[in-house]
Amino acid sequence: MFVKIKNDLAAAQERDPAATSKLEVFLTYAGFHALMAYRIAHRFHKWGIPILPRVISQLARWLTGIEIHPAAKIGKGFFIDHGMGVVIGETAEIGDYVTLFQGVTIGGTGKERGKRHPTLGNHVVVGAGAKILGGIRIGDNVKIGANSVVLKSVPANSTVIGVPGRIIKVEGDRQPEATMDHTNIPDPVLDRFEALERELIELRKQVESHNPPEKQ
């Protein structure tokens, strides 16, 4: 546990250019405080101690705005940048040297039982506000863009953006028709409304063709 906390401390200093020293990280970084509380709560959880792990996690949530379930599995060198609003669910599994930004949810869809939270590989970076939901797998070295919603597994060495999340790069190669233009991200709800509108227009034409207006 203490080795992982030491690695977490080093990771924060290495990945945040604003960090001037490990002492600054230790005293002032909410993400590190939440992670340290998680490491302790997780150890108690593994020992089978009831209630106390959840009490620690809820206290950390109250103090930092970050919620990490004690049963989640998190590797070494984990870094939460800024941190406010981060949620990590009970059956989530996170590899080594992963970075999350503020507002990230590693959660469930509400439709699953058992292993219902994502598994993230090593060296994954998840942008601010992104949501990764369900018992899916995110491969090593994946980058997930800010505010993306990822509902399907992602292969290693990929870049994902959008709602719903779509892969725009694999192994460094841009995918056909992929774009980083966040102003033109597909909107499945709007697409469905437009399809319904077209169906209504076609239906009205059919009704009018069968019932022509009476001549005056």
Which domains, and CATH codes, for the chain?
Answer: 2-181 (2.160.10.10)
What's the pTM value of the predicted model, to 2 decimals? 0.76
For residues 38-73, one letter each, b for 16 or more C-beta atoms within 10 angstroms of the residue's C-beta and e for the rest, the string is: bbbbbebbeeeeeeebeebbeebbeebbbbbbbbbe
Give the angle 105-171-169 at the CA atoms, nearest 5°.
Answer: 60
Query: What digits encode the pLDDT tens for the residues 118-142?
Result: 999 999 999 999 999 999 999 999 9
The per-residue pLDDT for 190 is 66
Read off the amino acid at residue 150: V
pLDDT band for position 186 (cuts 50, 70, 90):
low
